Amino acid sequence: MRNDRMAGGSSAASVVLEARRLSAGYGDLAAVRDLDLALHTGEIIAIFGPNGAGKTTTLLTLAGALPPLKGDVLWRGQRTTRPLHRRVRDGMGFVPEERSVVSSLSTLDNLRLGLGTVEDALSLFPQLEPLLNRPAGLLSGGEQQMLTLGRALASRPAALLVDELSLGLAPVVVEHLLDTLRATADQLGMAVLVVEQQARRAMRIADRWHLLRQGAVIASGDASSGIDALEAAYLAGAQ
């Protein structure tokens, strides 16, 4: 669906998840300020920025794991204050930075913890099938991330929030995970918001991008225009 949605204008797809003048943080300290963001069906938005820019805080607040300090989160057009577990049941998926596997449980039992079927998860990542009886804690980092992402995608969420999918993984594994994310977004019309440090790889599968610095969006763009605009904005923001 990449670029097709943008060519048709905003009417070509509905807004699934939206932030309006959103400020969020911890205590009285706002790590994100006055954020406006709209995520449409079938598109992938990548969020970039240096450490401490507010990327993870943005995802946690949109997911319902962190309450806003100010502003609103809209889910399918309606303002929501529901906590994370309620939003997951309403069709939102969330893959946190830490690999969310239960180490003592088998791969199979970890997959059963999700809202989707084991069969759907294995269709996305067949590499997990011979590992079904192995404790998840004994899987490699890449296998654990396949488990986490496969479980989330198998639930067929309307929107999926993904934090640092590539962290600590080999490039070939990262590409496989991102390609699966793109293919599933196209197949299901799933909206995806992904925080990622590997900008070139993320831009390859994204539709649009936002660059955060010190809690604010300082630049945005269409990913099809390439990495140059992002690099220029990053360097300009550092000055």
Going from N- to C-terminal start, the domains of the chain cover 4-97+157-238
CATH superfamily of 4-97+157-238: P-loop containing nucleotide triphosphate hydrolases (3.40.50.300)
Cα–Cα distances in angstroms (integers) from residue 68 to residues 74, 93, 213, 214, in the given order? 12, 19, 19, 17
Label residue 233 by pLDDT band (50, 70, 90): confident
69: how many CB neighbours lie within 10 A of its CB? Answer: 18
Question: Residues near 114 by Cβ (< 8 Å), separated by ≥ 6?
Answer: 121, 151, 152, 154, 155
pLDDT at 208 over 70: yes
For the stretch 36-73, pLDDT in tens is 999 999 999 999 999 889 999 999 999 999 999 999 99
Q: Which SS3 state, helix, strand or coil, does residue 178 take?
A: helix
Q: Give the 3-state secondary structure of residue 25.
A: strand
Count CA atoms closer than 13 A to 78's CA, side-chain side: 6
**To 10 degrees, the CA torsion angle through 159, 63, 154, 205?**
50
At residue 73, the 3 state secondary structure works out as: strand
pLDDT bracket for residue 1 (50, 70, 90): low
Render pLDDT for 67-115 as a digit per residue (tens, 0 to 9): 999 999 999 999 999 999 999 999 999 999 887 899 999 999 999 999 9
